[in-house]
Amino acid sequence: MSWKQSILLLALQTLLWVDAAAAQSFVSDATSNLPIANEVNIGGGGWAQIYNQAELAAFAIDVVVALALATLIALHPVRRAARSKTIDFILPRLFAFYALIGMVVGFLVDQHGYIIGFVVFGIGALLRFRSNLDDPVDTVEMILVTVLGLCVGLDLPVMAILIGAVSWVLIWVSGRRLPIELRLQADSMERLEHALDRVHQIARQEQWKEGYLHRSHSKNSARLILLLHASIGEEGVETALQKGLDGEGLIWKVGN
């Protein structure tokens, strides 16, 4: 190999080395500016999390804000004025539950990795298509307990206890009254109005709250939604109405 060829080969090797170094530097600079995904460290540190006062305070504030916003939407005057079915009286409870679930998922993703979001939504899809629960409240509560189990499995027992406590209070507050639908039909509007007066008296005696009333003059019928303690149930309403409406000559039905 001549000296010219040697110099040319050396220059080519130097050029290739410089290009490789520049490319490595470019990749390093580009990746250093990207946010580091925290999906690897999804563990919560177990019971030591109770000493993380900043995270616990942020969680408490997020719970209050999420439930407050959901309440504002659920109890909007327009929505309250349009309530005419039993599900309309259950929706505020569902709004609060779903707001809590959304807040918890977002909080866990922000604090412990976005892979948790995929896990939660995958579980939600499984529950949606593999469960036979007809009651939407049962469905949302099942999602809640699944999130609790997820937190325990991710070594987040403090978060699980806090979410469980908030859920327990929410279930107790929102589930105290159960909407029951009462349908009445008589042979005349005079008899129907008399029966409705008796129902109003029974509701006051039993401490039931009347949520909605609709009269149909063409059919001599009425539909009334009663809000009562969940422990009473349909059987308790039927028992009270049988005593109070006996001999009224009515056709009535209780349902939800």
More confident residue, 179 or 246: 179
- Reading the block at residue 159, the tokens are 């978060």
How does pLDDT run across 28-45, given as a tens digit for each residue?
554 455 444 444 455 566
Q: 159 and 54 in one domain? A: yes
Residues 6 or more apart whose CB falls under 8 angstroms from that of 59 comprise 107, 159, 162
Q: 147 and 205 in one domain? A: no
- Reading the block at residue 91, the tokens are 């929706």
Q: 157 and 68 in one domain? A: yes
> Does any domain span residue 163?
yes
* Residue where a domain stops, chosen among 152, 174, 196: 174
Question: What value does the mean pLDDT take over residues 169-188?
Answer: 85
Q: 151 and 58 in one domain? A: yes
Provide the pLDDT for residue 66: 92
* Residue where a domain stops, chosen among 132, 149, 174: 174
Q: 152 and 196 in one domain? A: no
Most confident of 28-32, 34-38, 95-99, 131-135: 95-99
Provide the pLDDT for residue 248: 57
Residue 22 has pLDDT above 60, yes or no: no
Provide the pLDDT for residue 250: 66
For residue 125, name the pLDDT band (cuts at 50, 70, 90): low
More confident residue, 145 or 1: 145
* Residue where a domain stops, chosen among 132, 156, 174: 174
Nearest in space to 184 (alpha carbons), one of 249, 228, 98: 249
The range of the structural domain enclosing residue 81 comes to: 46-174
CB 89 within 8 A of CB 179: yes
Q: 55 and 166 in one domain? A: yes
Q: How many CA atoms lie within 13 A of 208 on its CB side?
A: 29
Question: What value does the mean pLDDT take over residues 1-28?
Answer: 48
Q: 81 and 56 in one domain? A: yes
> Does any domain span residue 92?
yes
Q: 208 and 145 in one domain? A: no
As a whole number of angstroms, the distance between CA 12 and CA 6 comes to: 10
Provide the pLDDT for residue 35: 47
Provide the pLDDT for residue 130: 56
Q: Residue 21: helix, strand or coil by DSSP?
A: helix
Q: 206 and 164 in one domain? A: no
Q: How many domains are contained in the chain?
A: 2
Q: 186 and 157 in one domain? A: no
Q: 238 and 155 in one domain? A: no
Residue 256 has pLDDT above 70, yes or no: no
Tell me the whole-structure pTM to 2 decimals: 0.68
At 202, which amino acid appears?
Answer: I
Q: 238 and 143 in one domain? A: no
User: Which CATH number goes with the domain that contains 206?
Assistant: 3.30.2130.10
For residue 64, name the pLDDT band (cuts at 50, 70, 90): very high
Cα radius of gyration rounded to whole Å, the chain: 31
